[in-house]
Amino acid sequence: MKRKRVVILGATGSIGESAAKVARDIPDRMEIVGIAANSNAQKLAAQANELRPGAVCLVDEAKLDELRRNLNYQPQIFAGERGLCEIASAVEADMVLIAIVGTAGLRPALAAIEAGRHLAVASKEILVMAGEIVMREARARDIPVLPVDSEHNAIFQCLDGRASEVRRIILTASGGPFRQTPAGVFSTITVEEALKHPTWNMGPKITVDSATLFNKGLEMIEAHWLFGVGMARVEVVIHPQSIVHSMVEFSDGSVLAQLSHSNMCFPIQYAVTWPERVPNSLPPLDFAKLSKLEFATPRYDDFPALNLARRAGEIGGTLPAVLNAANEIAVSAFLEKRMSFPRIWQTVAQVMDRHRSVAQPDLDAILAADQWAREEARRVIAA
Ligand code: NAD
Ligand code: MG
């Protein structure tokens, strides 16, 4: 099989760096031909100098000079938000990996599909916001959408194309740093405490989402769209060890699970080499050393994110986009120490309550709901 030529949007982030590791690990299967980032010109240049992609994109145009100064070769350079769509579609590639935090990857993902590129999606936010549209566009062009989120990659592996025989999808959740913290002290939780994830090392936004369990809520909706399974059949179980990455129960009652160490290189590699598997240098599981694998029901009352997400997913329309956008604004206010930890879900709940969902929204209606929710969340936070 030939080498996959991959463009990485969000190359300087946690997923982007893991993707670069995979490319180093399986060089005859994966070649990075384009990289894009938001504003870290130095890091992007350093990555480019090492990986030598033919194309580089920086969204922050004010830093283009800095990028050029730090490059020691001359790749094609794209800039601005427009540049993201261009690098996703104009560069000769087989696959585009969307690893941008938040929703900025949506238009580039659609541009990539339109250009016939296979899509690997880490950015769950774009599937929460516009999963129906992304999946419909991909299906219309026969473009595979490969999940990189570890749970969805696990489900994709377990399903192996048999989505119609599914009884339940069981998403595992580590429970985050506050799995055992009494709800009574949630209002004293600091940013530093929220950023200490017990099992995964990730960017700040998703780390806070893992602490509130909004991450799992977003993932429920993500699973619904990726696999075409109704929300009622998507469940969550707490699994503190993060070894079982998710499970599928089939109509005959058999359950398949995917296990590995908690390292994003596993799902990234599978997305790149699918449908094949190839050897790598990642550490195998040693079952003699795994003392135990535990499972428990989430504390739904103490972590309202799960039920908010279930409601958003069930009502559908523009409500998932509203939940996602309000959460992004709330998380950044928390990270900037402008409000307490519980106010994240309180803000999201208030914004959702004020929204009138539009059924079967087109992209414009979704983008409008997203903008409305951001402004509404800012108002709620400022009040
Ligand atoms: P991160 O904060 O470490 O990196 C974010 C990347 O996105 C950076 O490269 C940044 O330059 C880029 N970016 C941010 N805003 C942008 C914009 N407006 N335009 C273009 N680029 C922009 O985040 P991360 O942890 O790597 O997460 C990326 C995505 O992957 C998120 O959607 C997250 O939910 C998802 N994800 C991450 C992990 C993980 O282990 N980190 C696991 C599963 C899913
Ligand atoms: Mg995940």
Residues 166-187: tens digit of each pLDDT: 999 999 999 999 999 999 999 9
Q: Is residue 63 located within the same domain as residue 163?
A: no
Question: Residue 277 falls within a domain, yes or no?
Answer: no
Task: Summarize the confidence of residues 285-314 as an average pLDDT.
Answer: 96
pLDDT of 156 reads: 98
Ion ligand 2: residue ranges with CB closer than 5 A: 149-151
pLDDT of 193 reads: 97
Q: Is residue 301 located within the same domain as residue 228?
A: yes
How far is 315 from 234, CA to CA, in rounded Å? 15
Task: Summarize the confidence of residues 136-147 as an average pLDDT.
Answer: 98
314: CATH: 1.10.1740.10
Question: Residue 332 falls within a domain, yes or no?
Answer: yes
Q: Is residue 228 located within the same domain as residue 348?
A: yes
Q: Is residue 223 located within the same domain as residue 350?
A: yes
Asked if 264 and 15 count as a contact pair (C-beta separation under 8 A), the reply is yes
Q: Is residue 170 located within the same domain as residue 318?
A: yes
pLDDT of 345 reads: 98
Question: Residue 164 falls within a domain, yes or no?
Answer: yes
Reference 333, options 379, 372, 371; nearest CA is 379
What is the tens place of the pLDDT at every residue in 220-252?
999 999 999 999 999 999 999 999 999 999 999
Which protein residue has the closest C-alpha to ligand 1 atom 2? 203
User: Pick from 67, 101, 123: which residue ends a domain?
Assistant: 123
Task: Summarize the confidence of residues 357-369 as an average pLDDT.
Answer: 96
Question: Residue 275 falls within a domain, yes or no?
Answer: no
How remote is the CA of residue 77 from the centroid of ligand 1, in Å?
A: 21
Q: Examine the pLDDT at 54 and tell me if it is beyond 90.
A: yes
Tell whether omega for the bond before 53 is within 30 degrees of 0, i.e. cis.
no
State the pLDDT confidence band at 46, using cuts at 50, 70 and 90.
very high
Q: Is residue 211 located within the same domain as residue 335?
A: yes
How remote is the CA of residue 11 from the centroid of ligand 2, in Å?
A: 18
C-alpha pair distances (Å), 302 with each of 164, 236, 352: 34, 15, 19
- Helix, coil or strand: residue 4: strand
Question: Residue 264 falls within a domain, yes or no?
Answer: no
Provide the residue type at 350 as one letter: Q
pLDDT of 310 reads: 98
What is the tens place of the pLDDT at every residue in 315-343?
999 999 999 999 999 999 999 999 999 99
Q: Is residue 100 located within the same domain as residue 161?
A: no
State the pLDDT confidence band at 161, using cuts at 50, 70 and 90.
confident
- Helix, coil or strand: residue 250: strand
pLDDT of 1 reads: 72
Encoded tokens for 181:
């913290």
pLDDT of 164 reads: 85
How remote is the CA of residue 125 from the centroid of ligand 1, in Å?
A: 10
Question: Residue 147 falls within a domain, yes or no?
Answer: no
Q: Examine the pLDDT at 40 and tell me if it is beyond 90.
A: yes
State the pLDDT confidence band at 2, using cuts at 50, 70 and 90.
confident
Q: Is residue 233 located within the same domain as residue 376?
A: yes
Interhelix angle 106-114/124-140, rounded to 10 degrees, is 20
Q: Is residue 78 located within the same domain as residue 215?
A: no
Question: Residue 54 falls within a domain, yes or no?
Answer: yes
**Domain hosting residue 367, numbered range:** 155-251+295-382
Residues in the ligand 1 pocket, defined by CB under 6 Å:
10-16, 37-38, 40, 59, 84, 99-102, 104, 122-125, 149, 200, 202-203, 205-206, 264
60: CATH: 3.40.50.720
User: Pick from 123, 147, 175: which residue ends a domain?
Assistant: 123
Q: Is residue 345 located within the same domain as residue 222?
A: yes
Compute the mean pLDDT over every residue in the chain, rounded to the nearest whole number.
97
Which protein residue has the closest C-alpha to ligand 1 atom 17? 38
Q: Is residue 74 located within the same domain as residue 163?
A: no
pLDDT of 322 reads: 98
Q: Is residue 8 located within the same domain as residue 72?
A: yes
More confident position, 1 or 225: 225
Q: Examine the pLDDT at 291 and tell me if it is beyond 90.
A: no
Number of domains in the chain: 2
Report the Cα–Cα distance between both ends of the chain, in Å, rounded: 58
Question: Residue 22 falls within a domain, yes or no?
Answer: yes
Give the ligand 1 atom nearest the CA of 126.
32
User: Pick from 123, 146, 170: which residue ends a domain?
Assistant: 123
